[in-house]
A and B are shown apart, each in its own frame.
Chain A
């Protein structure tokens, strides 16, 4: 039996549309809506094993945070991850991440423990983050902690560290190099927002 299901547009399309609409509507929004955005967010991932350390940086992460609702989204281009060694970068894109097929990673979720009240008081706030993390075309629920810092000028900085298991996102690592890549990759996110 064939069951008709509504076709879901790809998450990244939703993400970009949401971000574009959010940016487009920014001048019309009331200040109370407290939306923040960045196009220069930083994600680093780090793999540490006795055989080898591997790290890569992406400084082109796009993110929007709505402090009123706690909604947060970010997106990163896989090919914008930069490695020190060319061979690592080539293997990352071609063998593991299939970046031609899955060019973006996205997160869409919600921050709790931070809102309009905290936004008015400069300080550092520990928060909880929960949402859907899509890597390599595989979406998995993700929960974690983060820290949001409000500076005196009203700017926001959010940092978080978490771990990702490649197998959770169907990233296959050949047995011959498995010992060189950590079972859990450490990921750090550093987003400095400006008010929209």
Chain B
């Protein structure tokens, strides 16, 4: 291999490495729409799992890396959060707690109202008073 070929390989390797590093650095967070669901269940089942055994439910639904779960339920309320987000609060057979799903307004279907039966998926982040899902998208 002559010096010229070696130089070309070296430059290509540097360019490739630089592109990979830049791509990794500037990579946006994944949309839930682009990820497969690791579980499918109702809002009631999801809340119940956390109420019964938070540690086990955290392991199953939150995991060590981001996990998308698919949840079905009836909308209890729609709560605007700032100018860009809306919380879709799903009934879960519990007056005090619910499943709260954060949508970017751009991802929130216009027909959704209180009482609408919906299916959505999002990234489960854990349990405070409610089970919290972020970056949610509707499932048609």
> Chain A: residues with CB nearer than 8 A to chain B?
16, 19-20, 23-24, 39-40, 42, 59-60, 62, 75-77, 79-80, 82-87, 89, 100, 103-104
Q: B89 to chain A: closest CB distance in Å?
A: 9
> B128 is contacted by which of A83, A89, A104 (Cβ under 8 Å)?
A104
- Contacts A16-B128, A82-B134 supplied; 14 other A-B pairs, CB < 8 Å: A20-B97, A20-B129, A42-B82, A59-B82, A59-B85, A60-B100, A60-B125, A60-B132, A77-B132, A79-B123, A100-B64, A103-B58, A103-B62, A104-B126
Q: A87 to chain B: closest CB distance in Å?
A: 6
Q: B20 to chain A: closest CB distance in Å?
A: 12
Which residues does chain B contribute within 8 Å of A79, judged by CB atoms? 62, 66, 123, 125-126
- Contact: B102 with A89, CB < 8 Å? no
Q: B66 to chain A: closest CB distance in Å?
A: 8
Which residues does chain A contribute within 8 Å of B126, judged by CB atoms? 77, 79-80, 103-104
Number of A-B contacts (CB under 8 A): 75
CA distance A59 to B84 in the complex (A): 11
Measured as residues with beta carbon below 8 angstroms from the partner, the interface class of chain B is: 20 to 34
Q: Does any Cβ of A come within 8 Å of B2's Cβ?
A: no
Which residue of A19, A80, A84 has the most chain B CB atoms within 10 A of its CB atom? A80
Which residues does chain A contribute within 8 Å of B27, judged by CB atoms? 85-87
Q: Does any Cβ of A come within 8 Å of B130's Cβ?
A: yes
Which residues of B in the span 71-93 have a Cβ within 8 Å of any Cβ on A? 79, 81-82, 85, 87
- Contact: A59 with B102, CB < 8 Å? yes
Which residues does chain A contribute within 8 Å of B96, judged by CB atoms? 20, 23-24
- Contact: B25 with A85, CB < 8 Å? yes
Which residues does chain A contribute within 8 Å of B134, judged by CB atoms? 60, 80, 82
Which residue of B24, B28, B128, B135 has the most chain A CB atoms within 10 A of its CB atom? B128
Q: Which residue of chain A is the closest to B66 with respect to CB atoms?
A: A79
Q: Does any Cβ of A come within 8 Å of B5's Cβ?
A: no
Q: A86-B29, A100-B64 are in contact. Are A39 and B82 (CB under 8 A)?
A: no
